[in-house]
Amino acid sequence: MKNIRNFCIIAHIDHGKSTLADRLLDFTKSVTERERKEQLLDNMDLERERGITIKSHAIQMVYPYQGEDYVFNLIDTPGHVDFSYEVSRSIAACEGALLIVDAAQSIQAQTISNLYLALENDLEIIPVLNKVDLPSANPDEVTDDIVDLIGCKREDVIRASAKEGIGIEEILNAIVERVPAPQGDPEAPLRALVFDSVYNPFRGIETYFRVFDGSIKKGQNIKFVATDKNYSADEVGTLKLVQFPKKEIKAGDVGYLITGIKIAKEVKVGDTITDAENPTKKAVAGFEDVKPMVFAGIYPVETDEYEDLRAAMEKLQLNDASLVFVPESSAALGFGFRCGFLGMLHLEIVQERLEREFDMTVITTVPNVSYNAYTLKDKDKPIIVSNPTDLPEPTYLDRVEEPFIKASIITKSDFVGSVMSLCIEKRGQITNQTYLTQDRVELSFDMPLAEIVFDFYDRLKTVSKGYASFDYSPIGMRRSKLVKVDVLLNGNTVDALSALLHVDNAYDIGKRICEKLKELIPRQQFDIPIQAAIGAKIIARETVKALRKDVTAKCYGGDISRKRKLLEKQKKGKKRMRQVGNVEIPQEAFMAVLKLND
């Protein structure tokens, strides 16, 4: 065990984490020339194109140092705020972390939040200043920021450039010298932490784990603590670029396990694996079920593709256990699914994967969060509302509670005013303001999750000219004055456009939705009233005017009553048409509600 080092890499998005992982693999000769490619651990096309890590990945390297061979287990983690639970489990499986900071961009919000996760787990932090070769780099200034943040010495900060291969050997030596070897009792009952799982269509779920105590052998009867199910370990081994089966994985090491499980829900990230006959008394702490934060309806464009969409969603769920969905139907869009996501990036990725991997074109309704509603009859038992149409009628409603978050925004001091006014507009309350350096400020807000779901991130980048970074964590439910705003087209409610809004914003947003829909809905042979309503009260209205044929063209000369007669006849026809007419809603209309500020 003394020659094993388990470490992860934590960084903000785009600070060079995946590139550094590539260089470490090259330097330790874990990859042959033939297998070598950029962003090797990011194996999804989507990850490569966007330059983000979506799934955790683990890989083993061997590094000779002072005459001994050391085994390195690198656990690569996602950098985005939506996946922070996965990051916390990967961190729990390690003893050390490389904290990577971009020499040009300095410390960002995500860096700090992941750093706190690492410090809570008592990890040894090795600070790395990346991209020092860039012309815009400020290595001395950023080194000072790192020293202030984690209280290390200046000489502890390793200067590197993953692209140019500078400082890679120093990083590997520091991992051997500074990261402690894993502690654990090889004789105790098996206790291992699941930090990731991947679906293999031929072999079922592959579980990635880290052994804390005891060892796991091929053919052993094992038990998952959280789901309380027993399995047989068909194959265990270590993860290099390809899997290496072994007879046994001992305490302190990282490996994979294949048990023939076919259902992703049965393997939960953060669960503990133990021996079925002799279980451990103490499970690994920190396990929780991942809760979706954002809900949206996903519908097929063609109604007859519903079953194909269901099959695609089920296959996607095998790879992504945090996606939840239940069937629902909408009067406007037919049959579809109400899906729960970890956040907006997760929603975007799921939508894109459905289109790419399964060739499904889908309509996504307005995303919303889940609320607790209490009725006058039962004031203590909450009704969970994840779809605006589930909200009880206002006459029966006692109160509604909505989820709040603690938002942490780091920006340049020049933009503090505009960032504050954006957050206050989004019903945020400022709780703290800290100057990290003379021109970098950290602002903390308590704000409703629903307000950041729409366009908050884009607008934050706009008001700060791209210099603000944003991170959040949930802080529970709070009482709020919310109303359901319905959109009516030609007198019929379009349930897919309903939204739960705060009383103060309802009139304004209702009016803007009507104006936006007026631009997007094509003109018909009859007038189409577009209305926004709270209950029975109409709060805004726009009208799409009818296309009118000039019926008086053939009427020349004579009395005005001849023209009147023709116009009255046309009016009656339009009225009759309006009673039977159907309004087709273009797909852009559903997405337009998200971009009301454009």
Is 502 within the bounds of a domain?
A: no
Residue 26: pLDDT above 70? yes
pLDDT tens for residues 328-354?
A: 887 667 788 888 887 777 887 888 888
Least confident of 122-131, 165-174, 449-458: 449-458
The b/e string for 343-376 (b: 16+ C-beta within 10 A; e otherwise) is bbbbbebbbebbeeeeebebbbbbbbbbbbbbee
Is 288 within the bounds of a domain?
A: no
What total of structural domains would you count in the chain?
5
Examine the fold and report which residue of 310, 340, 365 is the final residue of a domain before the chain moves on.
365
Residues 45 and 162 in one domain: yes
Residues 376 and 356 in one domain: no
Residues 28 and 157 in one domain: yes
Alpha-carbon distance of 442 to 558, in angstroms, equals 78
Q: Which domain CATH number covers 357?
A: 3.30.70.870
Share of residues in the chain with pLDDT > 70 (%): 86
Residues 22 and 138 in one domain: yes
Report the pLDDT averaged over residues 278-288.
74
Alpha-carbon distance of 132 to 159, in angstroms, equals 7
Report the pLDDT averaged over residues 577-583.
63
Is 286 within the bounds of a domain?
A: no
* Per-residue model confidence (pLDDT) at position 57: 64
The answer to whether 561 is a known ligand-binding residue is no
The answer to whether 17 is a known ligand-binding residue is yes
Q: Which residue range is the domain that position 420 belongs to?
A: 371-480
Residues 306 and 163 in one domain: no
Report the half-sphere exposure of 417 (CA within 13 A, side-chain side). 1
* Per-residue model confidence (pLDDT) at position 578: 62
Q: Which domain CATH number covers 261?
A: 2.40.30.10
The answer to whether 229 is a known ligand-binding residue is no
pTM summary value: 0.70
pLDDT tens for residues 45-93?
A: 555 555 556 556 677 788 787 778 888 888 777 666 666 677 777 777 7
* Per-residue model confidence (pLDDT) at position 65: 78
Examine the fold and report which residue of 347, 365, 383 is the final residue of a domain before the chain moves on.
365
Residue 37: pLDDT above 60? no
Report the pLDDT averaged over residues 561-575.
80
The token duo for 513 is: 């939705």
Q: Which domain CATH number covers 437?
A: 3.30.70.240
Is 283 within the bounds of a domain?
A: no
* Per-residue model confidence (pLDDT) at position 579: 60
Residue 539: pLDDT above 80? yes
Examine the fold and report which residue of 365, 392, 416 is the final residue of a domain before the chain moves on.
365
The answer to whether 122 is a known ligand-binding residue is no
Residues 156 and 196 in one domain: no
The answer to whether 130 is a known ligand-binding residue is yes
Report the pLDDT averaged over residues 223-241.
80
pLDDT band at 368 (very low <50, low <70, confident <90, very high): confident
Residue 42: pLDDT above 50? no
**What are the E-state strand segments in 381-439?**
383-385, 397-412, 429-437
Q: What does the mean pLDDT of the chain come to?
A: 77
Residues 245 and 376 in one domain: no
Residues 93 and 9 in one domain: yes
Residues 129 and 255 in one domain: no
* Per-residue model confidence (pLDDT) at position 13: 67
The answer to whether 230 is a known ligand-binding residue is no
Residue 485: pLDDT above 80? yes
Residues 378 and 359 in one domain: no
Alpha-carbon distance of 580 to 570, in angstroms, equals 16
pLDDT tens for residues 453-472?
A: 766 776 777 787 766 777 77
Residue 38: pLDDT above 70? no
Is 498 within the bounds of a domain?
A: no
Residues 298 and 394 in one domain: no
Residues 255 and 388 in one domain: no
Report the pLDDT averaged over residues 6-14.
77
Which DSSP string do the residues of 454-491 spell out, in sequence order?
SSHHHHHHHHTTT--EEEEEEEEEEEE-EEEEEEEETT
Residue 305: pLDDT above 70? yes
